[in-house]
Amino acid sequence: MAALFFYGTLQHIPLLEIVLGRSFGDIKISNDQLRDHVVLAVAEGPFPCIEAAPGQFAAGVLVEGLSARDIDRLNFYEGSFAYDLREMALVSGHKALVYFAHANHWSAVGPWSLNRWQAVWGDLSCFAAIEVMDYFGRYSVDQVAKMFPMIRTRAAAMVNARQSRHGGGTLQGRVEIDRIDRVYTNYFALNEYHLSHERFDGTMSDVLDRAVFVASDAALVLPYDPQLDRVLLVEQLRMGPVARGDRAVWQMEPIAGRVDPGETPAAAARREAWEEAGISLQSLEPVAEVYASPGDSTEFFYIYVGLADLPDAVTGVNGLASEAEDIRSHLLSFDALMGLVDRQEAANSPLVIAAYWLARHRERLRLRPPGAKPDVT
């Protein structure tokens, strides 16, 4: 049996249990310290590293009674973050293995707080760890490391789901999940659920097989200039129309992008407006919070209308080269936008939703005094 000293996120007991794949049982946990070291936050993520620091003490927990399989699971989880084990002597006199980052891999930026991490990142990290450990024995550490940014984004969506506003008046029934098979994972994922659910008559259904496309949350914003009474749309190649065999695979749509972990949907909308169209939004008007296709996808949309100055010179080709984006922007008058929608030439559902919302609220927005307080920060 082995002993490890944890100074970072694995002090969080729910996360440690997920990584180990079991409750503690015969495992012993006690507070301890590592002399002449300090725990520091890193710029690349909400987790710490440990560095030599004469005269200082790194606080953490000593975990004793770990099996060889426990160590294998821990190495798989920590390996994707570029950490290796070293044996160290602790203040208590115990010897324990400690995870140290690869040399020059992370950029230390200052003190790290376990309490703050638990409050801000604890739940998200637990959701991410569930998916990571599902790949134990199936994928290499390097493969998981490449997928990890999207794993965290999917985990962030699960955290956001706890704050959903909808559901009033619907059945709050039981759902019993027999098992989940992950059929595919990369940028997106495809899960097969085997579950039964409560029926409206109070009985339980048979076990059903249902496939679900697992995606991230997305923020979408339709920029609108109330003074010039026009909107900005972006155009780019879309894979849905390509795969469907649509004759029109370049689509007109609002600005859109995924909501990154730790980012609010409103902040994502503002960031994407700059990245995709080079515009700064003055304020955001919330339009809708909706599933893209609740029958078979987790993808969830936060839709806004964003007030902005839209002069003639604002159009062009933008997008991040790092994401291979090639995005062209267009200015349309409000009447031209509604004509597009009325003729059913707008194939993007968030665009249609935002257009109808704008039709309802346009007069209020046009009468809004310059410099009015934003509705959403």
Q: How many residues does the chain have?
A: 377
As given in the structure block, the two tokens for residue 302 are: 């936060």
- Distance of alpha carbon 285 from alpha carbon 278, whole angstroms: 19
As given in the structure block, the two tokens for residue 329 are: 């922007």
323 given a catalytic annotation:
yes
Backbone angles phi, psi at 136, to 5 degrees: -60, 125
As given in the structure block, the two tokens for residue 81 are: 């973050």
- Distance of alpha carbon 113 from alpha carbon 40, whole angstroms: 9
Exposed, middle or buried: residue 112 (CB in 10 Å: 0-12, 13-18, 19+)?
buried
Q: Is 238 within 8 Å of 249 (Cβ atoms)?
A: yes
Element (H, E) at 68: helix 68-79
Q: Is 87 within 8 Å of 49 (Cβ atoms)?
A: no
Q: Which amino acid is at 127?
A: F
- Active-site annotation holder among 323, 325, 345, 363: 323
Backbone angles phi, psi at 300, to 5 degrees: -130, 135
Q: Which residues pair with 189 in a beta bridge?
A: 185, 214
User: What torsion, rounded to 10 degrees, do the Cα atoms 140, 145, 150, 155 define?
Assistant: 90
Active site residues: 323
